[in-house]
Amino acid sequence: MRAAGKILDQLPLVQGAYTDLAAVVDDSLPRLRGQSIQSLAATLEAWFTAAVPVPGELAGYAENLVTVDQTVASADDAASTMLAQAPASGLNMT
């Protein structure tokens, strides 16, 4: 659950990026009426500028998830091995 928590904690950043994107597009739409292609180009440029960080953010979340999962798996393996080798503990984890 820790890895999932890391992802969930970062979701507001992703949602914020999409909200910012929607605001930029909404703000630009009224200027498109009766204006030249330059307005459309400016709108699309703003849209792409706002959208650029989203894939990188998602990739970062995925990397964090993998790192955490690997760390937890290693710790679980080490703890299991230690318990299995504990003398006279009464616990046999093998």
C-alpha to C-alpha distance for 20 and 10, rounded to whole angstroms: 16
pLDDT at site 23: 84
Looking at the domain assignment, is residue 50 inside a domain? yes
Phi, then psi, of 92 in degrees rounded to 5:
-120, 105
Q: What is the pTM of this model?
A: 0.46
Write out pLDDT tens, residues 1-47: 566 667 777 778 888 887 887 788 778 777 666 666 677 778 778 87
Looking at the domain assignment, is residue 19 inside a domain? yes
Looking at the domain assignment, is residue 90 inside a domain? no
Domain residue limits at 18: 2-85
Residue partners of 51: CB distance under 8 A and separation at least 6: 17, 21
Q: How many domains would you assign to the chain?
A: 1
Looking at the domain assignment, is residue 76 inside a domain? yes
